[in-house]
Chains A and B, each alone.
Chain A
Amino acid sequence: MFIENKKVRWIIIFCSIALALYIALPNFYPKSDFFSGKKKINYGLDIQGGIYLVMKANVEEAMHARMQKKISILKSDFKDEEIKFKSIEFKKKSLSKIIIQLSDNNKDKVKKTLKKIHNDLQILLEKPSSLELSYYEASLSIYKKQVVEQSIEVVRNRIDAFGVSEPQITAQGSDRILIQLPGVENADQAKELIHRTATLNFRPVYEEVTTDTLQKWVSKVETKNKFSLGTEKSIRLAKNAKIHLLKYRQYIKQINRNLASKLPKNTKLIFQKPPNAKTLEAGRIPFLIKTDNDLSGAYLETARVGSNEYGKPQVNFRFNIQGQKRFAKMTAANIQKRVAIVLDDIVQSAPVIQEEINSPTARITLGSAGDIKETLKEANFLATALRAGALPVQLEQLEERTVGPSLGSDSIKKGKLAGMIGGLLILLFILGYYRGLGVVANIALTLNMLFIIAILTSLQATLTLPGVAGIILTIGMAVDANIIIFERIKEELAKGAGFRSSVRNGFSQAFAAIFDANITTAAVCVVLMYFGSGPVRGFAVTLISGIITSLFTSVFISRSILEMKILNQSKRT
Chain B
Amino acid sequence: MIKKQINFLKLTPLFLSISSLLVIFSFFIIAKNGFNYGVDFAGGTEIQVQFNQPVTDASIRQFLSTQKIKNFNVQSFDEKNEFLIRLDALSDLKLKKLTSNFKSTFSSKGFVMRRVDSVGPQIGSELKKKGLLALFYSLLIILIYVGLRFDYEYAPGAVICLFHDVVITLGIFSLLQREVNLQTLAAVLTIIGYSLNDTIVTFDRIRENIALYRDKTFSWIINSSLNDVLSRTILTSLTTSMAVFAMYFWADGVIRDFAFTLGIGVIVGTYSSIYIASPLVQFITKFKKT
Q: Residues on A close to B: CB < 8 A?
A: 46, 54, 187-188, 191, 397-404, 406-407, 411, 414-415, 417-419, 421-423, 425-426, 429-430, 433, 465-466, 468-470, 472-473, 475-477, 479-480, 483-484, 487, 491, 509, 512-513, 516-521, 523-528, 530-536, 539-540, 543
* Binary A-proximity of B164-181 (CB < 8 A = 1, otherwise 0): 000000000000000000
* Binary A-proximity of B239-281 (CB < 8 A = 1, otherwise 0): 1101111110111111100110010000000000000000000
- Chain B residue at minimal CB-CB distance from A468: B255
B89: min CB distance to chain A, Å:
10
Cβ–Cβ contact B120 & A399, under 8 A: yes
Cβ–Cβ contact B254 & A520, under 8 A: no
Is the C-beta of B130 less than 8 angstroms from some C-beta in chain A? yes
A399 — which chain B residues lie within 8 A by C-beta? 118-120, 123
Is the C-beta of B12 less than 8 angstroms from some C-beta in chain A? no
- Chain B residue at minimal CB-CB distance from A532: B134
24 A–B pairs (Cβ distance < 8 Å), ordered by A: A187-B99, A402-B116, A404-B112, A404-B114, A411-B252, A415-B255, A425-B246, A426-B242, A469-B258, A473-B190, A479-B240, A513-B200, A520-B146, A521-B197, A523-B142, A524-B189, A527-B137, A528-B134, A531-B131, A532-B185, A535-B186, A536-B134, A536-B185, A543-B190
* Binary A-proximity of B195-226 (CB < 8 A = 1, otherwise 0): 01100110111001000000000000000000
Is the C-beta of B18 less than 8 angstroms from some C-beta in chain A? no
Is the C-beta of B231 less than 8 angstroms from some C-beta in chain A? yes
Cβ–Cβ contact B200 & A520, under 8 A: yes
- Chain B, interface size category, equals 35 or more
**Cα–Cα distance between A540 and B89 once the two chains are bound (Å):** 29
Cβ–Cβ contact B243 & A473, under 8 A: yes
A528: min CB distance to chain B, Å:
6
**Cα–Cα distance between A535 and B117 once the two chains are bound (Å):** 13
* Binary A-proximity of B98-131 (CB < 8 A = 1, otherwise 0): 0110000000000011111111101100010011
Interface of chain B: mostly helix, strand, loop or mixed: helix
**Cα–Cα distance between A431 and B117 once the two chains are bound (Å):** 43
A449: min CB distance to chain B, Å:
13
Q: Residues on B close to A: CB < 8 A?
A: 48, 50, 92, 95-96, 99-100, 112-120, 122-123, 127, 130-131, 133-134, 137-138, 141-142, 145-146, 149, 182-183, 185-186, 189-190, 192-194, 196-197, 200-201, 203-205, 208, 228-229, 231-232, 235-236, 238-240, 242-247, 249-255, 258-259, 262
Given A523-B141, A527-B137, A531-B134, are A473 and B242 also a contact pair (CB < 8 Å)? no
Given A398-B120, A404-B112, are A421 and B250 also a contact pair (CB < 8 Å)? yes
Cβ–Cβ contact B247 & A524, under 8 A: no
A419: min CB distance to chain B, Å:
7
Cβ–Cβ contact B114 & A429, under 8 A: no
- Chain A residue at minimal CB-CB distance from B190: A473
Cβ–Cβ contact B197 & A472, under 8 A: no
Cβ–Cβ contact A527 & B205, under 8 A: no
A536 — which chain B residues lie within 8 A by C-beta? 134, 182-183, 185-186, 189
Given A477-B240, A483-B236, are A517 and B250 also a contact pair (CB < 8 Å)? no
Cβ–Cβ contact A397 & B141, under 8 A: no
B96 — which chain A residues lie within 8 A by C-beta? 188, 191
A188 — which chain B residues lie within 8 A by C-beta? 96, 99-100
- Chain B residue at minimal CB-CB distance from A187: B116
Extra pairs beyond A513-B205, A532-B185 (10, CB < 8 Å): A397-B118, A399-B120, A403-B114, A422-B242, A480-B197, A509-B208, A516-B203, A532-B134, A536-B186, A539-B186
B149 — which chain A residues lie within 8 A by C-beta? 516
